[in-house]
Amino acid sequence: MKPPRFLLNELALVGLSAISAAAAPPVFNIRDHGAAGDGKALDTAAINKAIDACSTSGGGQVLVPPGKYLTGTVQLKSNVTLCLDAGSEIVGTSDLDQYHNFNPPNSTPLADRNRWHRALVLGVNVENVTITGRGIINGNKVFDARGEERMRGPHAILFGNSKNITLRDFSIKDAANYAVMLEFTSQVTANSLTITGGWDGIHFRGWKDNPCRDVTITNCQFYTGDDCIAGWFWENTLISNCIINSSCNGIRLIGPAKNLIIHDCLFFGPGRFEHRTSRDRHRTNMLAALCLQPGAWDRTDGPLDDVRISNITTHNVTTPLHLSVKSPNTAGTISVDRLTATGSYFTAASIESWSDSAIQRVMLRDVSLEFTGGGTAQQAAITVKSPPVDARALPCWGLYARNVKTLDLQNVRMTLTRDDARPAMICENVANLGLDHFRIPAGPLVLNRVQDLQLTDTPLPLARARCTDLKFASNPLSASAIVEDGAVGGLTKLELVLPTKSLTRWIYLRPGQPLEVPFTDLPTLPPGKHPVRCGQITRELIVE
Burial 460-484 (b: 16+ CB within 10 A, else e): eeebebbbeebebeeeebebbbbbb
As a whole number of angstroms, the distance between CA 451 and CA 471 comes to 25
pLDDT number for residue 512: 78
Asked if pLDDT for residue 485 goes beyond 80, the answer is no
Contacts (Cβ under 8 Å, ≥6 apart) of 457:
436, 437
> What region does 6 belong to: left with phi over 0, alpha with psi -120 to 50, or beta?
alpha
- Give the pLDDT band (50/70/90) at residue 499: very high
Q: Which amino acid is at 282?
A: H
- Domain 466-543 matching CATH 2.60.40.10: the answer reads yes
Cross-strand bridge partners of residue 410: 365, 436
Q: Which of 53-57, 147-151, 349-353 is least confident?
A: 147-151
As a whole number of angstroms, the distance between CA 366 and CA 328 comes to 32
pLDDT number for residue 7: 46
At 14 the three-state DSSP class reads: helix
Q: Give the mean model confidence (pLDDT) for residues 247-260.
A: 98
CA-angle at 399, arms to 394 and 400, nearest 5°: 55
pLDDT number for residue 450: 86
Burial 118-143 (b: 16+ CB within 10 A, else e): bbbbbbbebbbbbbbbebbbbbbbbe
**Closest by Cα among 240, 321, 253 to 288:** 321
Asked if pLDDT for residue 6 goes beyond 80, the answer is no
pLDDT number for residue 4: 54
Domain boundaries, the chain: 25-187, 466-543
CA-angle at 396, arms to 393 and 401, nearest 5°: 90
Asked if pLDDT for residue 16 goes beyond 70, the answer is no
The three-state DSSP-derived secondary structure of 114-150 is: HHHHEEEEEEECCEEEEEEECCEEECCCCCCCCCHHH
530-544 pLDDT, tens digit per residue, is 999 999 999 999 998
Q: What are phi and psi of 421, to 5 degrees?
A: -80, -10
Q: Which of 103-117, 195-209, 221-235 is least confident?
A: 103-117
pTM of the model: 0.88
Q: Which of 22-26, 69-73, 225-229 is least confident?
A: 22-26
Q: What is the mean pLDDT of the chain?
A: 92
Asked if the peptide bond before residue 328 counts as cis, ω within 30 degrees of 0, the response is yes
pLDDT number for residue 3: 55
Q: Give the mean model confidence (pLDDT) for residues 408-416.
A: 97
Asked if pLDDT for residue 449 goes beyond 70, the answer is yes
pLDDT number for residue 214: 98
Q: Give me the DSSP letters along 168-225.
A: ES-EEES-SS-SEEEES-EEEEEES-EEESSS-SEEEE-BTTB-EEEEEEES-EEEES
pLDDT number for residue 521: 78
287-338 pLDDT, tens digit per residue, is 999 999 999 999 999 999 999 999 999 999 999 999 999 999 999 999 999 9
pLDDT number for residue 10: 54
Name the CATH topology of 25-187. Pectate Lyase C-like (2.160.20)
Give yes or no for a contact between 344 and 390, defined as CB atoms under 8 angstroms apart.
no
pLDDT number for residue 474: 84
469-479 pLDDT, tens digit per residue, is 999 998 888 89
Burial 212-234 (b: 16+ CB within 10 A, else e): bbbbbbbebbbbbbbbbbbbbbb
- Give the pLDDT band (50/70/90) at residue 111: confident
pLDDT number for residue 5: 52
Q: Give the mean model confidence (pLDDT) for residues 408-420.
A: 96
Element (H, E) at 17: helix 5-23
Number of residues that make up the chain:
544
- If one compares 507 and 58, the residue with the highest pLDDT of the two is 58
Cross-strand bridge partners of residue 400: 350, 426
